[in-house]
Structure 1
Amino acid sequence: MKIHDECRQKFESLISKFTNTNQVLDDSLWKEIETRYSEPHRFYHNLNHIYQMLGEFDNTKMKLKDPEMVLFALYYHDLVYDPKSKTNEEDSAKIAEERLSELGIAKDRVGICLLHILTTKSHRLGEAHHPDTKYFLDMDLSILGSDEEEYLEYTKNIRKEYSVYSDDYRKGRIQVLHHFIETVRLFQTDDFFDQYEMRSRHNLKTEVHNLLKSELI
């Protein structure tokens, strides 16, 4: 209950800055987020993921240029999540654009939020990127640097989300992991790099090793 309540409280505090005590709108926006992130096929991309990222946000917000747009991106980046879809990020960004527009947020600021969300598709920065996007991507990947027990739980939950796949999962997951391992640095900012880089690489390589040994299926 703590996770749910804190996620809601921080979201309501965020949107209160953009609404004129419109309780109906406030309730509907949170209800949509709560419902989406509570879908039965979500084992990792749920409110627990949002809660974990909120912790990273709290430790980082003083370094952000526009923390409010990062916070909106945090809540909306996985709003649409279908393991079989290749357009989750675009679909999530589209809804975020509609909701932030309803709140009367200026288009240029909405665009910053959408940029954060869409960059999670590849986790690679384009030539034109907002300085906060680095921090947002690092928040999203910070789970990779968790301790052994938490990381194992993460891998099991990801596997549950892809339960529709059988042997193809192992091959696909290894490809994803190699994509990260071959990256020069997983974390874009020095703060996250110093805290999580070495542990993340250890976790990723261990997972690949276990998948090759068929210990994780």
Structure 2
Amino acid sequence: MAILIDPPTWPAHGTVFAHLVSDRSLAELHDFAGRAGLPEQAFDMDHYDVPAHRYDDLVARGAIAVSGRELIRRLRTSGLRVPARDRPETLRRVLGASWRRTVGRWQDRPDYVLGADLIERWAQPHRRYHDLRHLRDVLAALNLLCDPGPVPLPVALAAWFHDAVYDGLPGEDEQASADLARAELGPDRLGPEALPSERIEEVARLVLLTRTHSPLPGDHHGALLCDADLAMLAREAAGYRRYTLDVRAEYAHVPHADFIKGRTAVVRQLLELDPLYRTERGRELWQEAARANLRAELATLTATP
């Protein structure tokens, strides 16, 4: 667990830059950077860019000098590495294309504005887990579950809307997101291109189902959405650690003891879901790894003083 710095070899602005990272937490990194007087604008999602003339000083302050390769390895292992595919500009481009494929039947201006508005909602700065990455991952999981066929339109739209409103208020956020779907997909918004009312209600119903992730037997649409929303539980070790760090960051305002209590309850509830994934494909893809991750997290939570 340390602050790491690689050699200053990256050219920009008439000098060369090093990367300063933590292999434990962004809070530790920001604390070190603040005490060293590094400007906030030098932070780039998972590291600080520091000019060559600051290298020796930062090492003297306690940063451990490592090679660029070792820095990246340690950052990836920590779960804090932000790859290029997770950068905002990439996510906006990928999601914009996905939205256009989903609603290709809507070719007028409201279609474009609605997609852009949803992307901006998912990009709100207070989000740390329920963000553009999560939306992309849910859509990708739906494609896996439905391959080789298309994702049913109500399910795809429910994925876009299911956390469109996110204020960290369980139950209320889902209701507000469902209400947003009803408003945005109706005739007042889309005119003659609006979905039939029964399909709009199906989208809203699916959004509300993400409160519990407990679709009834035979609810194919519900099973698809819930499985896709929980696919992140099956990430490899570094990815799962990143997920838990992001969840904690979203609840940074919650005292440590209260967070541990609440998170423990959530993990236990997920482990009690039987089956955890409702589609056969979801169980094949994710169930074993997800249960192992949840059990390991629960052991860590219950061992936390």
- On whether the aligned pair clears a TM of 0.5, the verdict is yes
- Per the alignment, residue 222 of structure 2 pairs with 133
2:174 — aligned with what? 89
Choose from 127, 141, 161 the match for 2:250: 161
| Alignment correspondent of 1:120 | 210
Q: Distance in 2 between matches of 1:162 and 1:177?
A: 15
1:12-51 alignment, distance < 5 Å: 12-17=100-105, 19=106, 21-23=107-109, 25-51=110-136
CA contact (8 A) 1:65 1:131 kept: no
Going from structure 1 to structure 2, the CA distance change for 1:151 and 1:73 (only over 3 Å counts) comes to same
Counterpart check, 1:176 vs 2:262: no
Question: 1:94 deviation in Å?
Answer: 0.4
**Is structure 2 residue 59 aligned with structure 1 residue 59?**
no
Q: CA deviation at 1:186?
A: 0.5
State the distance in 1 between where 2:222 and 2:148 align: 12
What is residue 5 of structure 1 aligned with on the other side? Answer: 93
Aligned to 2:285: 195
Aligned to 1:107: 197
TM-score by length of 1: 0.90
Amino acid at match of 1:119: L
CA distance in structure 2 between the aligned counterparts of 1:183 and 1:61, rounded to whole angstroms: 22
Q: 1:88 to 1:184 in 2, by over 3 A?
A: same
Measured at CA, do residues 96 and 121 of structure 1 come closer, stay the same or move farther in structure 2, by a change above 3 Å? same
Partner amino acid for 1:16?
G
| In 2, Cα distance between equivalents of 1:198 and 1:64 | 25
The residue identity in structure 1 corresponding to 2:220 is P
Displacement of 1:73 in angstroms is 0.6
Alignment deviations for residues 18-73 of structure 1 (CA, whole Å, 9 cap, x no partner): x2x322x1232123212211111101101100111121122233577961111101
Question: Max radius of gyration: which structure?
Answer: 2
Higher strand share: 2
Can you give the 5+ residue segments of structure 1 that lack an aligned partner in the other structure?
Answer: none
Task: Name structure 2 gaps, 5 residues minimum.
Answer: 1-88
Larger helix percent = 1
> Higher relative contact order at CA 8 Å, sep ≥6: structure 1 or structure 2?
1
Q: 1:63 to 1:137 in 2, by over 3 A?
A: farther
Q: Partner of 2:231 in structure 1?
A: 142
Root-mean-square deviation (CA, aligned residues, Å) is: 1.9
TM-score by length of 2: 0.65
